[in-house]
């Protein structure tokens, strides 16, 4: 007979928390048939090596070792797809989620025939410990935005600590985007409001080991997720991000072109060559960090990607320069000539690099990166 409850716990550099967390789970879930799957994004502190050792000794412990991938939401989805238990729970590995709430969650979801039970820090009886004013503001602001955009009345969509019914997950999994760090927001947005949900209060504990993963990029990806769920059916968010990067590139292009042409006295053709080369590098860095964050290239793959990006953009660069030279010779203003060249080059760059640099070619050369 299979497990009744499967826990999915994403990890990244949490070695010191793994064994203490497992001890707490053993004590709390002693009357429940459970197992746990750790999904590790290639930790560098020995986390995955420790989990592998523990897994060899305990059949209740499973793991997924992801290489070249990032993101809590996608990690949770991969973990959930590997388990067959009728009830599934998501929690963090840093021991800030109160594991003692798990039996109450399981009882609640079973007896009340719910789709999902969420742990809330903002219900009466719940709370946070030593959060800074800035972190409280960020969490509360994100919750308000979620309520406004998704018309959700969940008090703590940012919690990351919840339990759901297997059949419910199976019914929505193909609609999940897997973007960012807040999978519950993804689930709420993908359910179309058709889910039976209840929240239970809990106290968010203080982190003892390791560092918090909350930073600007978490908020950025949260915004991307909300945009994807709101407008994604009409206009892909990745395309919008690429356009924004291109717009920034165009601004940089004009500023640098003016600098080299007007201030440093280069002739227009030389200024355009230097400017285009610099902007090409800037666009690669921005796209790798933001537009393709979920496929972000590191190490060797980053260098290979840069080379492929430059090769692919070379044709666009040549076309850009030829167009600028032709337009300028037709007495078109220097700034308009440069802008039109940049736009045409940018369209080519998107069409080629989105298909090959972060797609087919890089997957062939470095398959673990996608």
pTM confidence score: 0.69
What is each CA distance from 202 to 61, 105, 199, 329, in whole angstroms? 25, 11, 10, 70
- Structural domain contains residue 45: yes
- Interatomic CA distance for residues 276 and 341, integer angstroms: 10
Asked, for residue 186, whether it belongs to a domain, the answer is: yes
Note whether residue 336 is domain-resident: yes
Q: Are residues 122 and 81 in the same domain?
A: yes
Residues 47 and 129 in one domain: yes
What dihedral angle (degrees, nearest 10) is formed by the CA atoms of 223, 225, 227, 233? 170
- Buried-exposed string 204-215: b where 16+ CB fall within 10 A, e elsewhere: beeeeebeeeee
Q: Do 244 and 225 reside in the same domain of the chain? A: no
Cβ atoms within 10 Å of 322's Cβ, excluding its own = 12
- Residue 370 in any domain: the answer is no
**Tokens 């409850």 belong to which residue?**
5
Last residue in a domain, options 173, 198, 232: 232
Domain of residue 213, residue span: 5-232
Neighbours of 318 (CB within 10 A): 13
Residues 314 and 332 in one domain: yes
DSSP 8-state class, residue 203? B
- 220, 92: one domain: yes
Q: Are residues 182 and 261 in the same domain?
A: no
Q: How many CB atoms lie within 10 A of CB 150?
A: 18
In a domain, 279, yes or no: yes
| Spatial contact of 358 and 305, defined as CB atoms under 8 Å apart | yes
- Structural domain ending residue among the three candidates 194, 216, 232: 232
For the chain, the domain total comes to 2
Per-residue pLDDT of the chain (370 residues; tens, 9 = 90+): 568 999 999 998 889 999 999 999 999 999 999 999 999 988 888 999 999 999 999 989 999 999 877 778 889 999 999 999 999 999 988 888 999 999 999 999 999 999 999 999 888 888 777 666 666 666 666 667 666 666 667 888 878 899 999 999 999 998 887 766 678 888 887 777 678 999 999 988 876 664 555 555 666 666 666 666 566 556 666 777 777 887 888 888 889 988 888 887 788 888 888 888 888 889 899 988 888 876 778 778 788 888 888 888 777 778 777 888 888 888 888 888 887 887 777 777 777 777 777 775 555 554 444 4
Enter the tokens of residue 19.
Answer: 């064994």
Residue 164 shares a structural domain with residue 32: yes
Q: State how far the Cα of 294 lies from the Cα of 317, in Å rounded to an integer.
A: 27
CB 31 within 8 A of CB 61: no
Q: What is the CATH number of the domain that holds 49?
A: 3.90.550.10
Same domain, 39 and 154: yes
Does 274 lie in the same domain as 193? no
Which of 192, 216, 232 is at the close of a domain? 232
Cα distance between residue 306 and residue 357, in whole Å: 8
Strands across the sheet with 116-120, in order?
A: 61-65, 34-40, 5-11, 87-90, 162-165, 116-120, 197-201
If asked whether residues 222 and 252 sit together in one domain, one would say no
Chain centre distance of CA 50? 25
CA 143 from centroid of its chain's CA atoms: 18
Q: What is the DSSP string of 205-240?
A: PPP-SS----SHHHHHHHHHHHHHHHHTTTS-HHHH
Q: Say if residue 322 is in the same domain as residue 190.
A: no
Please list the alpha-helical segments (H only) found in the chain: 15-28, 47-57, 72-82, 102-111, 133-150, 166-172, 183-190, 216-231, 237-258, 268-286, 299-329, 334-353, 360-365
Q: Could you tell me which residues are beta bridge partners of residue 65?
A: 40
pLDDT for position 368: 45
Whether residue 223 lies inside any domain: the answer is: yes
DSSP conformational letter for 232: T
In-domain check, residue 306 = yes
Neighbours of 343 (CB within 10 A): 15
Residue 30 forms part of a structural domain: yes
Co-location of 216 and 140 in the same domain: yes
Whole-angstrom Cα distance, residue 5 to residue 37? 11
Q: What is the DSSP letter of 84?
A: -
Cα-flanking dihedrals φ and ψ of residue 36, to 5°? -135, 140
């Amino acid at each position: 007979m299979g497990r009744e409850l499967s826990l999915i716990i994403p990890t990244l550099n949490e070695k010191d928390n793994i064994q203490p967390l497992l001890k707490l789970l053993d004590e709390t879930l002693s009357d429940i048939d459970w197992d746990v799957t750790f999904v590790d994004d290639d930790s560098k502190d020995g986390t995955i090596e420790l989990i592998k050792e523990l897994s060899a000794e305990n059949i209740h412990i499973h793991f997924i070792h992801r290489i070249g991938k990032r993101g809590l939401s996608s990690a949770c989805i991969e973990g959930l797809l590997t388990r067959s238990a009728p009830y599934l729970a998501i929690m963090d590995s840093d021991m800030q989620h109160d594991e003692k709430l798990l039996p109450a969650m399981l009882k609640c979801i079973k007896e009340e025939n719910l789709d999902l039970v969420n742990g809330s820090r903002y219900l009466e009886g719940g709370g946070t410990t030593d959060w800074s004013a800035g972190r409280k503001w960020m969490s509360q602001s994100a919750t308000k935005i979620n309520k406004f955009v998704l018309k959700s009345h969940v008090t703590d969509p940012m919690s990351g600590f919840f339990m759901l019914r297997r059949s419910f997950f199976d019914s929505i999994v193909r609609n999940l985007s897997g973007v960012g760090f807040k999978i519950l927001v993804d689930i709420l947005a993908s359910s179309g409001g058709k889910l039976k949900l209840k929240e239970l209060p809990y106290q968010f504990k203080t982190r003892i080991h390791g560092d918090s993963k909350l930073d600007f990029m978490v908020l950025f990806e949260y915004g991307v997720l909300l945009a994807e769920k709101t407008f994604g059916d009409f206009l892909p968010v990745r395309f919008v991000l690429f356009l924004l990067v291109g717009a920034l590139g165009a601004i940089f292009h004009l500023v640098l072109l003016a600098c080299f042409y007007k201030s440093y006295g280069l002739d227009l053709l030389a200024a355009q060559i230097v400017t285009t080369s610099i902007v090409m590098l800037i666009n690669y860095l921005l796209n790798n960090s933001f537009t393709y964050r979920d496929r972000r290239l590191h190490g060797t793959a980053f260098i290979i990607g840069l080379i492929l990006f430059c090769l692919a953009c070379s044709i666009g660069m040549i076309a850009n320069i030829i167009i600028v030279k032709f337009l300028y010779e037709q007495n078109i203003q220097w700034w308009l000539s440069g802008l039109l060249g940049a736009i045409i080059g940018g369209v080519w760059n998107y069409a080629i690099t989105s298909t090959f640099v972060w797609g087919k070619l890089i997957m062939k050369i470095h398959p673990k990166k996608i």
